[in-house]
Amino acid sequence: MAKKRKALIAGNFKMYLSSEEVKRLARAISDFVSQKKYEDRDVMIAPPFPYLMAAVDSVNPSFVSVGSQNLYFEKEGAFTGEVSPLMVKDCGATYSIIGHSERRKYFFETEELLRKKITAAISNGLIPVYCVGEKIEDRNNNRHFDVVKRQVEEALREINFRSDNLVIAYEPVWAIGTGVNASPEQAEEMHLFIRNLISGIRDKNISENIRILYGGSVKPDNIDSLMKMENIDGALVGGASLKAEQFTRIIDYRI
């Protein structure tokens, strides 16, 4: 089955691994993808900030891209501890994960802040992977669509994005790192909902072509069923991206 949109399989290494481990993992992933030479899917890895350049130097950029796990919206200044879009790009990265639920939970990031980060990323030639998703209490109380609608509309309003310079990742918070993933049908339902939201924010052409990834306990044993869904265009993978044999199997999904 041919997917309408080119898939993106992204690995978020979070705050794990050493420099040497990142290099070995990045090389293993790059070697695998280079041999496969996929035409229907892209691959991206997002290591911790100190290892961005090590990852960039360890992959073949024709087959594997590198992204940051975060960025700050100012280009420079007295912002101790922050990293600007220009710095991320200067390291050789092409993507940046923005709004991951862990950033929202532990660092209290709001949609207003995330809108600034998305704008800064796009303005500086980076592709944001904007994360949205509800908590378990929201889903149990039938508020999951309301939560995601707010996250999408408030962060993306007034941004003149295209389908090729923004990626959205739906990651239900209750599925991240828990071993419990949304069913393919639950994920598909939310992905279609998000696609319709994008149509209202921008237009139908952009909504039909923008890539919407699923994240939340993605593993080799569930990637195939997820990718069979029409509106699931890839995956944002956490724990399983830290092991080459698991992540390469996810990259090599079969539908």
Is 252 strand, coil or helix?
coil
CATH number of 7-251: 3.20.20.70
Tokens 């929201």 correspond to 138
Q: Using CA atoms, how far apart are residues 74 and 219, in angstroms rounded to an integer?
A: 36
Q: Could you say which of 102, 111, 171, 188 is catalytic?
A: 171
* 171 included as an active-site residue: yes
Is 214 strand, coil or helix?
strand
pTM, entire model: 0.97
Structural domain boundaries in the chain: 7-251
Phi, psi of 215 (to 5 degrees): -140, 150
Return the closest-CA partner of residue 253 out of 229, 232, 225, 217: 225
Question: What tens-digit pLDDT sequence spans the chain (255 residues)?
Answer: 677 899 999 999 999 999 999 999 999 999 999 999 999 999 999 999 999 999 999 999 999 999 999 999 999 999 999 999 999 999 999 999 999 999 999 999 999 999 999 999 999 999 999 999 999 999 999 999 999 999 999 999 999 999 999 999 999 998 887 877 789 999 999 999 999 999 999 999 999 999 999 999 999 999 999 999 999 999 999 999 999 999 999 999 999
Q: Could you say which of 100, 134, 144, 188 is catalytic?
A: 100
Which alpha helices (DSSP H) does the chain contain, by range? 19-36, 52-58, 85-90, 101-107, 111-123, 136-140, 144-156, 184-201, 204-209, 223-227, 244-251
* 191 included as an active-site residue: no
